[in-house]
């Protein structure tokens, strides 16, 4: 594997001034002393001027948070990360590589989650090139490689978890932090050979597929209703138990088993009913 090598280069501004000065001296010498100078001196001045002009092609610019990969006839020489105008061998080919933090959002993928239900899922991946040599020479197109491998990792991760939580399992909808960490780890393993570091990976879209969305919504509503009813019944039973216990302890009224059963039934109806109770007052008969 090709690893990044730090390459030191010369400052560009001093080299630029030096080369311009050499070109100026050669030009003045040729123009002012062409008649008096010997042919050898003229040829030497021309050669020096050509070499100085050719050396100008060794100047290159390095932007902030960027690197420039140097190659000599296909052989990797090193990577320059010093910002500003730099100078290196004019025969070096110079290829810039962005080292800035980038992000992209994957396409909405339709996959089957752990229970087999089709879902739609997408993710946002934040990544950065940390090894320019691996990014350029280990894979053909590192940007496309990041996109393809991230979607493959997302598809693999989605099939490993259920959509909704049950029996204490980690679910896509309820354990976003754990799922994001596992997704980031999965993507990093796939991109390690490309010189890329995954900074963050999170799910940006999660939903049931349209063909089952309606049925799953009704199931969720039914589960919510059952949970609410269970909570109401538990509270009502506790309140009835407390009422009977306080009546017996304070001696307010003595109830036989039949009247206790009737009282429990009435209280449960009142406490568990969705509508307000309408009491019926028994005032007795108006005629003796």
Those residues whose C-beta lies under 8 Å from the C-beta of residue 80, and which sit 6 or more positions away, are: 7, 8, 9, 62, 67, 68, 70, 86, 88
Q: Which helix (H) or strand (E) holds 78?
A: strand 75-80
Give the whole-angstrom CA distance, residue 256 versus residue 234: 24
Q: What are the tens digits of pLDDT across the range 136-173? A: 999 989 999 999 999 999 999 989 888 887 767 788 88
CA-only gyration radius of the chain, Å: 40
What does pTM read for this prediction? 0.69
pLDDT in tens, 242-284: 877 777 777 666 666 777 777 777 676 766 666 565 666 555 5
pLDDT in tens, 42-81: 788 888 889 999 999 999 999 999 999 999 998 999 999 9
Report whether 34 contacts 71 (CB < 8 A): no
pLDDT of residue 96: 94
> How far, in Å, CA of 40 to CA of 35, rounded?
13
Average pLDDT estimate for 225-241:
76
The span from the first CA to the last CA of the chain, in angstroms, equals 108
Structure tokens given for 189: 């393993």
pLDDT in tens, 121-130: 999 999 999 9
Average pLDDT, the chain: 83
CATH number of the domain located at residue range(s) 102-208 in this protein: 3.30.479.30
């Amino acid at each position: 594997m090709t690893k990044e090598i730090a390459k030191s280069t010369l400052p560009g501004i001093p080299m630029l001034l030096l080369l311009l000065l050499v070109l100026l001296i050669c030009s003045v010498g040729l123009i002012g002393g062409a008649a008096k100078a010997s042919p050898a001196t003229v040829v030497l001045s021309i050669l020096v001027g050509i070499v100085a002009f050719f050396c100008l092609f060794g100047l290159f610019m390095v932007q902030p948070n960027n690197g420039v990969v140097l190659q000599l006839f296909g052989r990797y020489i090193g990577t320059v990360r010093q910002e500003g105008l730099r100078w290196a061998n004019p025969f070096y080919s110079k290829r810039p590589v962005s080292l800035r933090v980038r992000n992209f959002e994957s396409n909405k993928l339709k996959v089957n989650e752990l229970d087999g239900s089709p879902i739609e899922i997408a993710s946002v991946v934040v990544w950065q090139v940390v090894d320019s040599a691996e990014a350029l020479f280990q894979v053909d197109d590192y940007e496309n490689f990041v996109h393809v491998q991230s979607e493959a990792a997302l598809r693999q991760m989605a099939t490993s978890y259920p959509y909704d939580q049950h029996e204490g399992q980690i679910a896509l909808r309820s354990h976003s932090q754990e799922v994001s960490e596992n997704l980031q780890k999965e993507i990093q393993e796939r991109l390690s050979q490309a010189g890329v570091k995954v900074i963050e990976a999170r799910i940006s879209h999660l939903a049931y597929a349209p063909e089952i969305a309606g049925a799953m919504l009704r199931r969720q509503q039914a589960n919510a209703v059952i949970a609410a009813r269970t909570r109401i019944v538990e509270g009502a039973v506790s309140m009835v138990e407390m009422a009977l216990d306080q009546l017996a302890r304070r001696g307010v009224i003595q109830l036989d088993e039949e009247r206790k059963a009737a009282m429990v039934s009435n209280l449960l109806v009142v406490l568990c009913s969705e509508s307000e109770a309408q009491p019926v007052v028994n005032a007795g008969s108006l005629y003796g």
